Amino acid sequence: MKVADVGCGYGVSTILMAKAYPNSTVLGFDYHKPSIDWARKQAEKEGLKNITFEVAGSTDYPGDDYDLVAFFDCFHDMGNPSAAAKHVLQTLRKKDGTWMLVEPFANDRLEDNLNPVGRVFYAASTMICVPASLNENGPALGAQAGEKTIREIITSAGFSKFRRATQTPFNLVFEARP
């Protein structure tokens, strides 16, 4: 498989995938150069030959024909999640490519998020997620964006299939297909 891990930060998820699937090519992308530099050093320490890290954003990472594009806990932080979704669609293998998004667990209605986990996520979102998006003149989805909002953005970008694949008390895992 050819895998893109977009918004990979220090590359932890990218390295885990490269180790788990040694016959795959795994590419990690992040716009933050110091994070990519650190990820490269970690991959080198691990002796991984099937992994590459590049400085690139969610709307301009290179390549195409990816079997899997993964976004781990970053979609809601983006300045232009709609453009990111359109770019993913352009870079996926058209017939059977998959986009996997792991996002903080959030219900669609505010009152349904007023629980201990939701309150922690709102606090973190106020300090990290929303300012990150606003810094890029983005929509400030934040960590409590909810499935409905994420579905609308992804299907508006042209994806024909979207589903909640699974969930944990802390995360929602979505699958989108062309």
pLDDT, tens digit (0-9, with 9 covering 90-100), for 47-80: 999 999 999 999 999 999 999 999 999 999 999 9
When pLDDT is cut at 50, 70 and 90, the band that residue 165 belongs to is very high
Tokens of 166: 């699974």
Looking at residue 41, its pLDDT comes to: 98
The phi and psi torsions of 51 (rounded to 5 degrees) equal -135, 145
| pLDDT for position 40 | 98
How does pLDDT run across 129-145, given as a tens digit for each residue? 999 999 999 999 999 99
Taking phi over 0 as left and psi of -120 to 50 as alpha, with beta for the rest, 24 belongs to beta
pTM of the full structure: 0.95
Give residue-wise pLDDT tens across range 8-53.
999 999 999 999 999 999 999 999 999 999 999 999 999 999 999 9
What pLDDT sits at residue 111?
96
For 112-122, what is each residue's pLDDT tens digit?
Answer: 999 999 999 99
Band of residue 95 on the pLDDT scale cut at 50, 70, 90: confident
Q: Say what percent of the chain tops pLDDT 70.
A: 100
Which pairing describes strands 68-72 and 51-55: parallel, antiparallel, or unpaired? unpaired
The beta strand positions in 7-147, using DSSP E, are 25-30, 51-55, 68-72, 98-104
Q: What domains lie within the chain, and their CATH numbers?
A: 2-177 (3.40.50.150)
Mean pLDDT of the chain: 97
